[in-house]
Amino acid sequence: MPDINRPTGTHHRASILVTGAAGHLGREVVDRLQAHGARVRRLVRHQTGPRSAVETVVGDLTDPTVVRTALLDIDAVFLIWPLLDSAPAHEVVAELMAAAPRVVYVSSTAIDDEAARQSDPIVQVHADMEVLLRDAGLRPVVLRSDTLASNAHGWAAQLRAGNVIAGSDVARTAVVDERDVADAAVAVLLAPHHAQLGPNPYVLTGPEVLSRADQVAQLGAALRRRLSFQSLPADLARSRMLADGRPEQLVEALLAASGCRPESNRTTDHVERLTGRPAGTFARWAIDHAAEFS
C-alpha cells in the first residue's frame, strides 16, 4: 500500500502532483510550485532523508494503487516516465483518464516525428508515451527537453579522482538548464485550463549547441581546473557504467543513444515563450553548481 506523508496540521487539498520528485528536475519543479503558492504533492519511489514538508506519496509509479492515491483531488500532473518500456504505463494512463487532470509530460527533443522507429530505446519510449497519452484523450502538454545540464552530475566521482572525464561520446546538442525546464513546466502547470498555450509539443533547448568536450571545458572553467574529455570505445564505456552500478538495460540504452542518435543543431525560443526570459547557458549552470563538484 502507498504511504502518504501529510505535513502536520495541513488540511488543504493538493492540486499539482509531481512525479520523479526526488530527481534534479522534479525537485526544481516542486520548489518553484511552492514559491508560487501552489498546493503540491510529491510522488517518490523511496522516502529518503528528513521528512518532507511537502505532502508525499511513497510508492512506484507503475503501481495503479499508488497512482490512484496520488491523484486524489489533483488538478494537474507533472509526469516523468522512469522506465525504458511504455507497456506498464497503460495502467497509469487508465488512472489518469479516471482522474482527468491536466498532464504535462517531459519528453525528448530527439524524437523524429517522421520516423517509424526512433534512433534509440530512450527516444523510442518517449515517442511511445506521447502516443499513448494522446490516444487516451488526455491532451497532454508535451515538453520535449534537450539534454539536461544536470546530467553532468554524473561526472562528479571522476572529478574527485582527477581532471579527465572518460565515457561514451554523444552527438552535439543544445544542452538545457533543468531550471529552465522547471520554469517552463510550472508556467504550464499553473496556467488556467482554458488558456491557449501555443505550440504542442514545446521544444526546450539551451541557447548553444555543445559537444561533450565543450561541456567538460566549460565546467573546468567554472571550477578553475583544466579538464578534458576522453571518449571511450563502447566496450570500455559499458564496463565503466556497469561497475558504477547502473542497470544493464540502461547501460545498453545509453550506448545505443551514443552510437545512433544524430547530432542536433536546433535551438528554439520556447523557454522564453513560456517563462518570459531566454534560456540560460551551460556555462552559467556550471558556475552556479561548481561547489557541488568540489
**Set of cell numbers at residue 41:** 504533492
pLDDT digits (tens, 9 = 90+) for 35-71: 999 999 999 998 776 667 899 999 999 999 999 999 9
- Asked if residues 108 and 266 have their Cβ atoms less than 8 Å apart, the reply is no
**Set of cell numbers at residue 167:** 565515457
- For the domain made up of 15-292, the CATH class stated in words is alpha beta
pLDDT of residue 192: 81
pLDDT digits (tens, 9 = 90+) for 109-144: 999 999 999 999 999 999 999 999 999 999 999 999
Exposure b/e, 118-148, CB count within 10 A at least 16 = b: bbbbbbbbbbbbbebbeebebebbbbbbbbb
pLDDT digits (tens, 9 = 90+) for 143-180: 999 999 999 999 998 999 999 999 999 999 999 999 99
**Domain-wise residue ranges, the chain:** 15-292
Residue of 120, 292, 109 lying closest to 206 (CA atoms): 109
pLDDT of residue 246: 86
pLDDT digits (tens, 9 = 90+) for 259-294: 899 888 999 999 999 999 999 999 999 999 999 998
Tell me which H or E stretch contains 71: none
pLDDT of residue 278: 98
pLDDT of residue 241: 86
Exposure b/e, 149-182, CB count within 10 A at least 16 = b: bbebeebeebbeeeeebebbbbbbbbbbbbbbbb
Residues 199-213, mean pLDDT to the nearest whole number: 95
Beta strands in the chain (DSSP E): 3-5, 16-19, 40-44, 55-58, 76-79, 102-108, 141-145, 164-167, 202-204, 228-231
- Among the residues of 103-211, which ranges form H helices? 121-135, 156-161, 178-189
Per the listing, cell 538545457 goes with 176
Q: Which residues contact 82 (CB under 8 A, 6 or more apart)?
A: 20, 61
pLDDT of residue 283: 98
Band of residue 8 on the pLDDT scale cut at 50, 70, 90: very low
Band of residue 240 on the pLDDT scale cut at 50, 70, 90: confident
Residues 191-220, mean pLDDT to the nearest whole number: 90
pLDDT of residue 9: 44
Output Rg (C-alpha) for the chain, integer angstroms: 19
pLDDT of residue 12: 39
Percent of the chain with pLDDT over 70: 92
Give the whole-angstrom CA distance, residue 141 versus residue 123: 18
Which residue type sits at 145?
Answer: S
pLDDT of residue 196: 62
